[in-house]
Structure 1
Amino acid sequence: MCGIHAIVTHDGIPTLSDSLRRSLANRGPDHFGQVETRVNGKQGARLSLAFTSTVLALRGDHVTPQPFHDASTGSVLCWNGEAWKLAGQAVEGNDGEAVLARLLAAAADDDDDDDDAGGEAVLDVLRCIEGPFAFIFFDKPSSRLFYGRDRLGRRSLLVNRDDSGFVLSSVAETASPGWFEVEADGIYVVNLTREDDERGVFVSPSRRPWMIDQAADTILNIGQLNMTTPSEALPPLGSNSSVIRRLHEELTESMRMRVLHIPAPPKLEEGSNQTRVAVLFSGGLDCTVLARVASELLPQDQGIDLLNVAFENPRVALHRGQDVTTSIYEACPDRITGRKAFAELAVVCPSRKWRFVAVDVPYTETLAHRSQVIYLMHPHNTEMDLSIAYALYFAARGAGVAQERPSDAPQAYSTTARVLFSGLGADELFGGYSRHLAAFERSGYPGLVDEIKLDVSRLGKRNLGRDDRIMAHWGREVRFPYLDERLVRWAIETPIWEKCDFQHPETESRVEPGKRVLRLLAEELGMPSVAREKKRAIQFGSRTAKMESGRTKGTNLVTPMIHDGAG
């Protein structure tokens, strides 16, 4: 994980504001670097460019400084993400260095005679990267600026463009108009030798597609959804289905890349806490399966932290009254399911050092961080954004009280993990939302397929950039195993009846039909209670929704506040 920033201006390079510098440094606390350069624009005008990168070192055996700067060509790369594979081959060592080497070789081969068609070799390198990333690459010999987010949009990149300059950044300068998410629909290219008019406004970036000659019905620039529907009644999806083993294999391979070879946190003393990964843990199906698969892969000396967040909601407290036997935090739905799932993991994996981290957030602390959260989630700006962002923000901070076994006395604790795992994506891929059931009841399998197609197709446009900005603030990287490109391709190509099974409702011996394949996998992994957990949105499970008023709508806009650098 890194913080990246670039600015192109006609009038010299402005100094980064203290708040923006601090926000970028929070994302990458291991190194702060800057590179400045100049290039001739239209009619010989001199353009000033500045690139900034901060580094959270999670690849290789040392901290690799950024921005990457090639002395022979003057080209610059700001890299934020993980290249798990390049052209199908696993990347060893530092992935940013590997990406830069390929980009430089490609840039040298590109034909620069045609302004509109040039840069194709560079584009081909970017297209072959598997993993979550955002990047800014300046090819100085051609004066081209390439930038973008991976085809699923798993890393944040914002753009602000006006007459005075062109700015790209992991986080906004301020929570003010003018900042927009860079779409995850392609790779963007700006030719800095061309400008629109005498005002010196930079030309609009050209968008290059992720896939060449892709079919019209391609989803997420990855593959085509299997739209087949059964022509006759099918037997229930059961434990003997081969698709369950295939899901286990796909998920294990996705987790293997993301959970192994994570370096120990800096300054970690020998023999001390060796926990390097944590799970954003509601106790629900998606996250608990990730924790269970992670335990299959990690060495036994490494623990796994389960970060479970609960909020003091004054509206809920008002209705509880004074005569209560359980704390307001322990009464939160996600705390209840979290403790149940923790107990089941402790039984099925007794040799693993689990640590259940109860993150309790008083209402006063929520208010104290409100301006910080609004700033980080910008340009998202609704009450629903805020309620989800609160939960992710405090969970990622990872500070609370911890237990290594359900019977242990809780102790104050802050996680040492710098990699967080999220179960996001499972509901969209495997039919886990209530609207999927409603679509099936309304229109059968054709309606269900259409609803899932809609959900999957907009994964890259919704909330991943926001979530990245929120959680990276604490110097941690969130990883999404269900959103691995190969797992996604397999999932969307799998027939709908092998993923969910609304034709056969839940019974005493049959788990819920939504995400049934994942529920059956949980059963196979020894977690029957987890397999039967109901879907619950994070804002309701942690009780961040409707904190002040039950009449607040999720679509209401939040009231902006001046960002003061809190937190």
Structure 2
Amino acid sequence: MCGIHATITTLTDSGLSPELRQSLINRGPDHLGEAQRELPCELPCADRDRRLRLYFTSTVLALRGDHIAKQPLEESTGVGSVLCWNGEAWRIDGRPVRGNDGETIFSTLQSSTSSSREIRDVHVLDVLRSIEGPFAFVYYDFVAGRVYYGRDRLGRRSLLIKTSGSTESITLSSIASVPTDGWEEVSSDGIWSIDLNTYGNMSSEFSLEDHVTKNAWLQSSDDEMVSSIGVFNKELPPPKHALDFSSPSLQILRHRLIESLKPRVLNVPEPPNATSDVDFRIAILFSGGLDCTVLARLAHELVPIDQGLDLINVAFENPRQVALEAKQPHLRASDTYEGCPDRATGRKAFAELKSSCPGRYWRFIAVNVPFEEAMAHKTKVLSLIYPHDTEMDLSIAFALYFAARGTGDRYVDQIEWQPSPPTVSTSARVLLSGLGADELFGGYARHEVAFKRGGYSGLIDELILDVGRIGQRNLGRDDRIMAHWGREVRFPYLDEEFLKFAISSPVWEKCDFENAFHPAVIDPAKRLLRLLADQLDLPIAARQKKKANRQDRERNRPSQGYSSGIYMSREQLNYGWV
């Protein structure tokens, strides 16, 4: 993962402030590099020294390959093509990527020997369309005379754009500069390009905005495609059907999820400056809910047994609740944070993982955030989420921000709360998130409502809407928040191949709101995932309710001054990473 910044301008300054440079370094602490290109004005004009300048800056968080791949990647110093790459290419044209993905992509982009601008443009777009994984990029192709930029189909990495009022300057960046006005999120629904070829032949004013083109992810239009990835299976179930432990889809799910996890948890480099005696390279954003607990359990099957796995669980102080407990001591919990629903489910799932996988070194990190500390970081969090600025954005961002910081109370052998546990910070640079499972497997309450109103047809329509909106789920915002701490979040449920499997599977093989399946009541929502959890010896997680109950919501209701979403249930927040 990296921080990237690029400016196309007639000015002699890249516009990269010291503050923005530091923000980019926070994202990629292993390397900082810069490159520059110039396009002269070739026609006689009033300003004979007028040039179009391209400034590129990249920082690197090295997580792929056996060396730090310094960026920006250049054809040769000072001339030729340039690539700023932020992300992970797991596959190119269906083939797994070995070694450093940024270097592989740059080499593939450069592999065309044609001197034709049109042929080169087609080649570049074909390569970019063939990449699977989370990414954002800026690529200047010298032969095509174009700057290409964009984000992956699901928008899993951040890229912002700002155009000057004079339209003679366009800036692209992983994160906004201060002042933040004027920045917009680059849409993830296509690959964008800027044609620079006419610049040197124009004696009149040149507007960069007039030369921006959006190129579709798919070369042929298909209204049935969801998120430009696959076609949703709209088949209705046969008269008699059941989703239970004998269903073939159960073993297919396990295989597909393991295949998604493999590139995300294997061959992760050892973090530099690690202080623990145990090797921690992977951490799971962990509420103890179904989605993240299944990921933790399957990660155990893949990660070498001599490595530990961190489970990061966040709870916020609620001053309203603290004041209430002071007046009514009988309501007081042993610790104010222990009353938060996610803390309770997190500890239960931690105990279940320890029991199911006794040979693994599990470490539960209880991140407790006092009200005053949250407020002290509010300005920074607001700057990171820009251009998003709603209370809901801030609510989610607070949780992600302190989770990614990864500092909290350590629990290894002891499951229950202790009065003075040691404080630790995870050394893991890779975070796993369970986001996406609810959309794919019918995990939200509205999915059950859709079924009750419209049967399987209504449920299918609702799921298609949810999956189609993943690219607009503000994952770029989440990337800006978590990457601030020099960590990369990975989404196994949003792997392209896993998504294709999930949306091509009949809906009755994923959830079952029609049949009341029993063994000790496994809920219909996300039933296939619940069956997998039970098969993995996680019976409590398999039966974990998605929604917080009314009492939990009341306990977690925010006080004045907090963004209201912090204490909403996960159902209300509409995200499932913890």
Q: TM-score, normalised by structure 1?
A: 0.92
User: Quick one: which amino acid aligns to residue 337 of structure 2?
Assistant: Y
* Stretch moving more, 405-414 or 128-137: 405-414
What is the aligned partner in structure 1 of residue 186 from structure 2?
A: 182
What is the aligned partner in structure 1 of residue 235 from structure 2?
A: 228
**TM superposition shift of 1:175:** 5.9
Could you tell me whether the CA contact under 8 Å between 2:244 and 2:531 is conserved in 1? yes
Which of 359, 365, 368 is 1:360 aligned to? 368
What is the aligned partner in structure 1 of residue 398 from structure 2?
A: 390
Q: CA-to-partner distance for each residue in 1:490-523, whole Å, 9 max, x for gaps?
A: 1000000000101124656331111000000000
* Stretch moving more, 316-325 or 28-37: 316-325
Which of 295, 298, 301 is 2:303 aligned to? 298
Give the 3-state SS of the residue equivalent to 1:235 in structure 2. Answer: coil
Could you tell me whether the CA contact under 8 Å between 1:175 and 1:374 is conserved in 2? no
What is the aligned partner in structure 2 of residue 10 from structure 1?
A: 10
1:99 matches 2:105:
yes
Could you tell me whether the CA contact under 8 Å between 1:276 and 1:416 is conserved in 2? yes
1:191 matches 2:195:
yes
Q: 1:223 to 1:277 in 2, by over 3 A?
A: same
In the alignment, the residues of structure 1 paired with residue 85 and residue 557 of structure 2 have an alpha-carbon distance, to the nearest angstrom, of: 35
What is the aligned partner in structure 2 of residue 561 from structure 1?
A: none
**TM superposition shift of 1:205:** 1.6
Which of 503, 511, 516 is 1:500 aligned to? 511
* Stretch moving more, 41-50 or 429-438: 41-50
Which of 55, 61, 65 is 2:66 aligned to? 61
Which of 280, 283, 286 is 2:288 aligned to? 283
**TM superposition shift of 1:273:** 2.5
In the alignment, the residues of structure 2 paired with residue 543 and residue 165 of structure 1 have an alpha-carbon distance, to the nearest angstrom, of: 50
What is the aligned partner in structure 1 of residue 175 from structure 2?
A: 171
Q: TM-score, normalised by structure 2?
A: 0.90
Q: CA-to-partner distance for each residue in 1:206-234, whole Å, 9 max, x for gaps?
A: 111112114112111111101112252x3
Q: CA-to-partner distance for each residue in 1:497-553, whole Å, 9 max, x for gaps?
A: 00010112465633111100000000000001001112248xx88998744279958
Which of 488, 491, 516 is 2:527 aligned to? 516
**TM superposition shift of 1:84:** 1.1
**TM superposition shift of 1:198:** 4.2
User: Quick one: which amino acid aligns to residue 160 of structure 1?
Assistant: K
Which of 144, 154, 157 is 1:155 aligned to? 157
Give the 3-state SS of the residue equivalent to 2:143 in structure 1. Answer: helix
User: Quick one: which amino acid aligns to residue 356 of structure 1?
Assistant: F
Could you tell me whether the CA contact under 8 Å between 2:153 and 2:190 is conserved in 1? yes
In the alignment, the residues of structure 2 paired with residue 372 and residue 543 of structure 1 have an alpha-carbon distance, to the nearest angstrom, of: 27
1:448 matches 2:466:
no
In the alignment, the residues of structure 1 paired with residue 63 and residue 553 of structure 2 have an alpha-carbon distance, to the nearest angstrom, of: 31
1:342 matches 2:354:
no
Q: Which runs of 5+ in 1 are unaligned?
A: 555-567
| Count of matched residue pairs | 546
**TM superposition shift of 1:22:** 1.1
Give the 3-state SS of the residue equivalent to 2:148 in structure 1. Answer: strand
Could you tell me whether the CA contact under 8 Å between 2:139 and 2:147 is conserved in 1? yes
Give the 3-state SS of the residue equivalent to 2:366 in structure 1. Answer: strand
In the alignment, the residues of structure 1 paired with residue 99 and residue 563 of structure 2 have an alpha-carbon distance, to the nearest angstrom, of: 52
Could you tell me whether the CA contact under 8 Å between 2:395 and 2:564 is conserved in 1? no
Could you tell me whether the CA contact under 8 Å between 1:13 and 1:49 is conserved in 2? no
User: Quick one: which amino acid aligns to residue 90 of structure 1?
Assistant: P
Which of 414, 426, 447 is 1:415 aligned to? 426
What is the aligned partner in structure 2 of residue 559 from structure 1?
A: none
**TM superposition shift of 1:128:** 1.2
Could you tell me whether the CA contact under 8 Å between 1:224 and 1:493 is conserved in 2? yes
* Stretch moving more, 190-199 or 258-267: 190-199
In the alignment, the residues of structure 1 paired with residue 339 and residue 220 of structure 2 have an alpha-carbon distance, to the nearest angstrom, of: 53
Q: Which runs of 5+ in 2 are unaligned?
A: 45-49, 567-578
Q: 1:42 to 1:240 in 2, by over 3 A?
A: farther
What is the aligned partner in structure 2 of residue 37 from structure 1?
A: 37
What is the aligned partner in structure 1 of residue 576 from structure 2?
A: none
In the alignment, the residues of structure 2 paired with residue 508 and residue 302 of structure 1 have an alpha-carbon distance, to the nearest angstrom, of: 35
In the alignment, the residues of structure 1 paired with residue 344 and residue 42 of structure 2 have an alpha-carbon distance, to the nearest angstrom, of: 63
Could you tell me whether the CA contact under 8 Å between 1:309 and 1:542 is conserved in 2? no
**TM superposition shift of 1:489:** 0.4
In the alignment, the residues of structure 1 paired with residue 193 and residue 554 of structure 2 have an alpha-carbon distance, to the nearest angstrom, of: 42
Which of 251, 254, 276 is 1:248 aligned to? 254
Runs of 4 or more consecutive aligned structure 1 residues displaced over 6 Å after TM superposition:
540-545
